[in-house]
Structure 1
Amino acid sequence: MYLAMPSVVLTMIYPTLKRWTNLAPIPLGLMFGAGTCMGWSDFADPRYHWQVLVPLYAGFCLWTITFETIYQHQDRAEDIKLGLHSMAILFGRHTIPLCTLSALSFLSLMAFAGWQNGHGIAFYAGLVVAAWLLLPRLLSTYIDRPEDCKRLFLGSPFVGEAVLGGLLVDVVYHRFATGFAL
């Protein structure tokens, strides 16, 4: 409950953020990333696993910032006309390099969290698939073509599914390899 409470405040103010800041994807990432903390607290005592939980949370925040910033490019012209703000407007032509850096940081933090938590090859294979799904799409996105931005945005769930799939296979393998029942 304590992990969820800060995200409630962000949920309430998020719809107004584009009226007064270019950085709306950051609170969105913080809000969405809170799910990792809440999910972790269901399975483990978070007080003893900060070395895993912090990079996991930060990584998912960066992933959200990446796909949301690209998504914002679909509305960039309208946002400018309406006097709204967005990270797409702030980054402009630097969006793809900055979002690529954010995406690489997401993948690196996921790998670090996996290493800290003792995950094996299946988890890292899931990260490789996630990188394969995310990076070529990102690097081929032309920010002035809304359909390119939409394509990347709609592909984002597959990135998460690749990470989750690798994690699940790794956990199942580890349970069977060590003789523990599911």
Structure 2
Amino acid sequence: MTPSAQKPEPEGQVADAVRNNWVDRLAPEFARPYLRLSRADRPIGTWLLLLPCWWGLALAAAVDGWRPGDLWIAAGCALGAWLMRGAGCTWNDITDREFDAAVARTRSRPIPSGQVTVRGALIWMVAQMALAGLILLTFAPVAILLGVSSLGIVAVYPFAKRFTWWPQAVLGLAFNWGIVVAWSAHTGGWPGLPAWLLYAAGIAWTLFYDTIYAHQDKEDDVLIGVRSTARLFGVRTGRWLARFLVAAVCLMGLAVLLALAPEASALKLVVALAAAWALGWHLYWQITRLDIDDADTCLMLFRKNRDAGLLVALFLATAGFL
């Protein structure tokens, strides 16, 4: 097909959106700017928010078995992740609208491109948070308290890159909070040490994948004064990623051992520990293919972390049935 014969891009499409995504193809035209604001055309963020929830639920179930109510917890986490990721991205775009207008990859987002007003974005954010709150209210009281307590971190995150070189760590605190929420939704009590160790493993994982993601914008970030671990690490990124890999694997393995040993069968323990092994293998695979100066490769590897997280969820969930 010649360039002149190629199908034109949908009007208003965001530069880093998945091509031929459902928002641009199927959503009503009036809704597209708001769905783009929620990153519904870029689903990887929802996966990265959801998967830690499933990790926490699955490890809790591996301790005392799956329960009938866990199906709703898993589904509620999925719906809540979609809504809260959308609300968080909306808040992020409101606070970052001037930065986004100055960066090539983000200036096509709905607010800087003029598709959505700031007032409209605020209304949309509140609507998403309200719906997510209704889902959260179906969980155990402790889980509700934990869920509400995460809002402070979510509110601070967009500003982190203005005052710290480690905004990826703040993102990790927010994106992996679902581990302790889902754990408490299953158990009905406060999360124990294994849940917090798994949370720490998730933070290390977030530092890994979001450092890769941040390398896409490092040149623009220098010009506008935005900080990131990508800028902080520079050519030493590979060594830092290896450290995050080791931290994630060790913390996850320790979480499994403390949760299951010595009561669990050898088979259950091996299957659950395979979650940490699978994560480590996938992250190592990413390091071997990383080119920090190739934005397309960075985006591809960042998106591959959905598969890494799913492997962890699969092994932990299987352990719950043994």
TM-score range, shorter chain: 0.7 to 0.9
* 1:33 CA drift (Å): 1.5
Paired with 1:131 and 1:138, the residues of 2 have a C-alpha distance of 11
How far 1:98 sits from its partner (Å)? Answer: 0.8
Match of 1:9 in 2: 152
Tell me if 1:108 matches 2:250: yes
Question: Counterpart of 1:29?
Answer: 172
Matches within 5 A, 1:171-182: 171-173=320-322
Alignment partners' CA distance in 2, 1:25 and 1:132: 22
Q: Does 1:39 align with 2:182?
A: yes
Match of 1:93 in 2: 235
What corresponds to 1:170 in structure 2?
319
1:147 and 2:296 equivalent?
A: yes
**Partners of 1:94 and 1:27 in 2: CA distance:** 21
CA deviation string 1:104-148 (max 9, x = no partner) = 111111111111111512122233222222212123311111122
The structure with the greater share of residues assigned to helix is: 1
CA RMSD of aligned residues (A): 1.6
Q: Percent identity?
A: 27
Gaps of 5+ in 1: 174-182
In the alignment, which residue of structure 2 is the partner of 1:176? none
Q: Say which is worse superposed, 12-21 or 142-151, in terms of deviation.
A: 12-21
Structure 1 outlier segments of 4+, above 6 Å: none
* Equivalent position of 2:271 in the other structure: 122
Distance 1:148 1:17 in 2: 26
Moved more, 71-80 or 126-135: 126-135
Q: Deviations 1:86-119 (Å, cap 9, x if unpaired)? A: 1111111111111211121111111111111115
State whether structure 2 residue 193 is matched by structure 1 residue 51: yes
Partner of 1:74: 216
Is the Cα–Cα contact under 8 Å of residues 67 and 153 in structure 1 kept in the other structure?
yes
Q: Matched residues in 2 for 1:71 and 1:87: separation? A: 10
SS at match of 1:133: helix
- TM (normalized to structure 1)? 0.87
The higher radius of gyration belongs to 2
1:180 alignment counterpart: none
Following the alignment from structure 1 to structure 2, what is the Cα–Cα distance between the partners of residues 103 and 4? Answer: 27
**Does the 8 Å contact 1:71/1:149 carry over to 2?**
yes
5+ residue gaps, structure 2, are: 1-143, 261-267
